[in-house]
Structure 1
């Protein structure tokens, strides 16, 4: 069988050769990389879930990349300080960002950011997500999402809810729920999950919303009862609890998630290598078990393109809620 090279084919071949020449610097960068310690910037304080995930993957990355991987916490301003460090870092593969769901809300909450999330950062991987959960003290009269909504309709501005902070995904989820049901519920914004849990357990607030990782120990221990979860499917540990969609709210999804980003312009071969190293590290039995049991996470381990699509959707959804309700960061 004879294969003829047509004019179109010749042009394609020439383009391919030119592309190879243009890709040479990126391939060269990959060949000499990594050339020193690699840092993962976490834009939050030590002790939170994002810090825990970064420290979980760093040993596996060190092993697979052949250089020490150091976690650097740069907290403040709703995660924007650490994010800016990476956005303005040299795109040489030595600096990476591992961040949380608040990343997608930042542009709407903080419109004067000194960087652009889309322009200044390249996606690497969506690690996974854990659903937001509404929980209450067991002696409260709310057993389902319908119970909560009906009570809020019967007593406007009386049924209170707590969240882990103003402008968090939990807070925005409750604002979206109120918009869709025509209810009004007073919001108590706590500075951290521990304080919100304590007041909910004590009955000082009717319900609270937080990630499954935050609430699971208290639900399994009996001090809180889950009434709704907002993932795409039920968590194994909350198999008896309806999702938002099952409760009659199609499209009402809210997950805590962890993603990895690089400074814009980081060579694609290096991004691909880190993506593969993350995937291998998180597929180790110990790491997978930690993510699924401690963080209550649904592992995704996405491609860079899939993370971009996901974050674009999150920015559109939650940014609209922020703008509709004129919400500002604490």
Structure 2
């Protein structure tokens, strides 16, 4: 019997899924998918952490699906331009978005973001998650998050905080802390976390949050001090740094995440095929090792589980924006 290339590819992937996860029943694989090159839109610049995750996933998906998978960096508007491009693409599974935390924070903070993270997309699957870390200049007279909160209450507006830009997770995590503690810390937005880090090191600003890979080198060599990670439990990448619960803020849990999204209307069979392949990718030992280097934990799951996560995340950030009365009309 002769097999077409597409059919052979589907049977091969099916066997891979069964062998890797030991399922008793065969997954439903989309007929005729993929038909050509798959494009993963990364809405941030080449070389950034999100870009590295996107290229890792693209390489492994290409190997599994036996079709080219390329990364397309669509930079601008805090990730909104890339999200807009994918939302407006053909819903056939060949154009995907690598979503990270700004996917929900920017849409929650800016009504004019130009996309809706829930109604404009079909969730494919989660890839990984990891906390941010609160870091301070060494001259700040606070060595823990409770001490920072106490200082902010004593000196309203005197402390300042640098972020990677308005509406991003680095910005809204500060607003969430302010809302929870009734404090006021002056927000100073930068064009990216790198210049904010430079000013934190020099003492121009007091405080910032960033991903652990971005700030850990300066924490480990003593140029910045870590007050807490933004999650409910400690990170294995900075085991000496307390969690938010240990810092007296139970329920405060802010995670940077990475997930694949397709345009709304993508057939469920295509979404399921991509989800099955993505689950295999995330379980690969070399992928897990690479994620660990970035202080990330694998976080696979169904499209429905990702959708539930995004609903909670988006609605939570909208509540922070409302509570803090943030008026943001531009990136």
Q: TM-score, normalising length from structure 1?
A: 0.86
Task: Return the offset for 1:114.
Answer: 4.3
Change (3 A) 1:159 1:40: same
Task: Compute the displacement of 1:105 (Å).
Answer: 2.2
**How far 1:247 moved relative to its partner?**
1.3
Residues 274-298 of structure 1 deviation map (CA, whole Å, 9 limit, x = unaligned)? 11222222222222111111x2112
Q: Partner of 2:307 in structure 1?
A: 308
CA distance, structure 2, for counterparts of residue 67 and residue 266 of structure 1: 19
- Is 1:241 the equivalent of 2:241? yes
CA distance in 1 between counterparts of 2:35 and 2:46 reads 27
Listed as ranges, the matches of 1:167-186 within 5 Å are 167-186=167-186
Tell me which residue corresponds to 2:320: 321
Deviations 1:208-237 (A, max 9, x none): 111223212222232211101111310112
Give the SS at the match of 1:237.
coil
Counterparts of 1:147 and 1:63, CA distance in 2 = 50
Q: Check 1:115–1:157 CA distance in 2 against 1; reply closer, same or farther (3 A cut).
A: closer
Structure-2 change in CA distance of 1:210 and 1:31 (3 Å)? same
**CA displacement at 1:107 relative to structure 2:** 2.9
Determine the structure 1 residue equivalent to 2:99: 99
Which secondary structure does the structure 1 equivalent of 2:45 belong to? coil
Contact 1:163–1:190 (CA under 8 A) maintained in structure 2: yes
Which runs of structure 2 are paired with 1:260-271 in the superposition (5 Å)? 260-271=260-271
- Once residues 213 and 303 of structure 1 are traced to their aligned partners in structure 2, the CA distance between those partners, rounded to angstroms, is 28
1:109 Cα deviation after fit: 2.7
- Aligned CA distance change for structure 1 residues 172 and 216 (closer, same or farther; 3 Å): same
CA RMSD of aligned residues (A): 1.7
1:167–1:327 CA contact under 8 A, matched in 2: no
Give 3-state SS (helix, strand or coil) of 1:80's partner: helix
Cα deviation for residue 310 of structure 1 reads 0.5
The corresponding residue for 1:23 is none
Superposition deviation, residue 110 in structure 1: 2.9
Residue pair 2:133, 2:229 contacting (<8 A) in 1 also: yes
Aligned residues: 302
Distance in 2, Cα, partners of 1:166 & 1:91 = 30
Query: Helix, strand or coil for the counterpart of 1:319?
Result: helix
- Indicate the residue corresponding to 1:278 in structure 2: 278
Change over 3 Å in CA distance of 1:115–1:247 after alignment to 2:
closer
Q: In structure 1, what is the Cα distance between the partners aligned to 2:238 and 2:226?
A: 8
Structure 1 residue 67, shift from structure 2 partner? 0.5
Q: 1:89 to 1:161 in 2, by over 3 A?
A: same
**In 2, Cα distance between equivalents of 1:237 and 1:286:** 18
**Paired residue for 2:253?**
253
C-alpha distance in 1 between matches for 2:283 and 2:313: 26
Distance 2:157 2:139 in 1: 21
**Unaligned stretches of 5+ residues in structure 1:** 1-26
Structure possessing the higher radius of gyration over alpha carbons = 1
What secondary structure sits across from 1:33 in the alignment? coil
1:84 aligns with 2:76: no
Query: What does residue 20 of structure 2 align with?
Result: none
Q: Which residue of 2 aligns with 1:68?
A: 68
Structure 1 window deviating more from structure 2 (142-151 vs 264-273): it is 264-273
Counterpart contact for 1:167–1:322, Cα < 8 Å? no
3-state secondary structure, aligned to 1:82:
helix
